[in-house]
Amino acid sequence: MLCTSTSYAQETTDSAGWWQHTKNRLGNIVDNGAEELYLSGYSYHGRNTYTAERIRELNEKAWGIGGGRTFRNAAGNDESLFFFGIRDSHSKPQLMAGYAYEWVFDIPKTPLEFSAGYTAMLVSRQDYFGGFPFPIPLPIAGFGTKKAKLMASYVPRLSSNKGNGDVLLLFARFEID
């Protein structure tokens, strides 16, 4: 299904329900989005959430690679579909696949922009649910140009107990079309 921006807008207003709207939106990203490469290299664990001893045990070199497609919509915002594999905090594989929406803000008189939004994804980690994929929504932000951005996502502290969550993941997104 090839959708142009005009036909996509028409399809989304004429669709009978949210399921058709979602399929049209995702199909548009696949058909019209730019191919991208994702590279990861660093995760920061909050120093107030983890003990110094625990920080020394955790992997903060979250090396990883992934790919995706991003479509700049009629409102000038980015919609992405992606898959990504990184080394988690325990140096085990963490696999992710999902959707991201970023509101894009141009920096006047430069090619630079920053973005902020959210991602909804499925994540597979060996230390949660025996590796069975689970859904998670997270905030996402970026800074750079349309073709190359430094990106960040944040996993908030998951409970009042210390020792889980409060992790900032830094990665880069490059357009390869």
Question: Which residues are tagged catalytic?
Answer: 45, 88-89
Buried b (16+ CB within 10 A) or exposed e, 110-119: eeebbbebeb
Question: Whats the size of the chain, residue-wise?
Answer: 177
Phi/psi of residue 153, nearest 5 degrees: -135, 150
